[in-house]
Structure 1
């Protein structure tokens, strides 16, 4: 049983910044953990969630790490408490990269340590690969430069296709089904995930906090190309920690090994009885990142 969060009142503060796209401005919600009085002297951990997830996925991790770091966790546009866009065309990596760059600038820092789960790892790899990147150290959680078509299609089957639910418990049951590879997850973790992943509608029903058009954009994108980012990977120069669930359907053992053979200085850590993705909700997974940050 993973150690539970004993979260003090107001352990984090909630903010937003404005992103800009072809449609106009949109609000990006983010959570900030740590002591504001120490922000100028603390390194920043910038934590970005997966395709259909939200900033609260990092609550356990951020709570444990904010004693030593400023921890910032955004909701990518179309997810969580961030705005929804007017068109599915806006949900693309160009927009996500621009929004995250704008948020880094808002924080008033020149360097960040990037913790990216799945989609968040892809965004991190892209930003780390460009000249004068603000990413000092990069942690990619169960994602790599190559993803199989089968793995992508498994997400395409459900993303953006959920309707209303009668209760929040129904939301929890649904999440347990589509995220069955997540580990570790206690019953309390599933309850918390359902709480932050859903909202009540005016009719009294419940809906997920993900714009259904995110799913439309995702299906359109994978119909044109596979995820092949090896050239991007080769351009990364900062140290990289790769986390992999040994039962992952997204980051294969062959891809993980290839990441060690070329590109940036890379460390690989694998977790038993875990698929896609390690949830960073226990001391073991958090400590791996904490130790690596101190050593690199």
Structure 2
């Protein structure tokens, strides 16, 4: 078992850190609002620290799941950042969805300090985190990944190395691109079924068994039909991710017309007051 630090106890990080503790690791947590860290310790044991640096002191692995590029920089760099507290040979594993650019920037800084760095964004939503069934897509040196993978296994359904640093983030962009068009298609399908006077449950029962079936259809069609969006991955975060996708597309020279269009549809949802709604709320644009 390893000595670990976990930085960021949001809807994903809180249960992920709990799985690490349940697996027998010695876990110290840090959260920007200390109340969450105190609640985690009360629920799971372990200990909390007031800064990333103090949480990371003596840790074999430091894992993070924060909000965006700036949040990740803030927990990594500076006098109170995790890198300052880590010992040479320790490995930083980042589960945040961020740009490949900031990933490479921080990986370079880690390398200069004798630290390993694995970018390991996740997919599977809050339910996946709570059930330990996340998909983890990784980039980094083979030896760093090989050391980190058994730790990440505590909450992973699948964990794979896709290449060097940054490959994990680029793979997560593939994930978000695929989801964007899929959720819009499902939204249009359900809205069409309703307007056509069809029973949505019966429609889904049939079409889900064929080529139209998907995780989104199985897990979200009931709440979408009911107009219930208070769960899962928020629209605000999806727009953050899609902005990264579109910027990366420009960088590699590929056109993403559907992704760009769905991003604007999510902007409409934000204008409706749905910034914190689940991403399945795209259907709200199509209902009276």
After TM superposition, is the score higher than 0.5? Answer: no
Q: RCO greater where, 1 or 2, for CA within 8 Å and sep 6 or more?
A: 1
Q: Which has the higher strand share?
A: 1
Q: Considering only CA atoms, is the larger Rg found in Structure 1 or Structure 2?
A: 2
Q: Which has the higher helix share?
A: 2
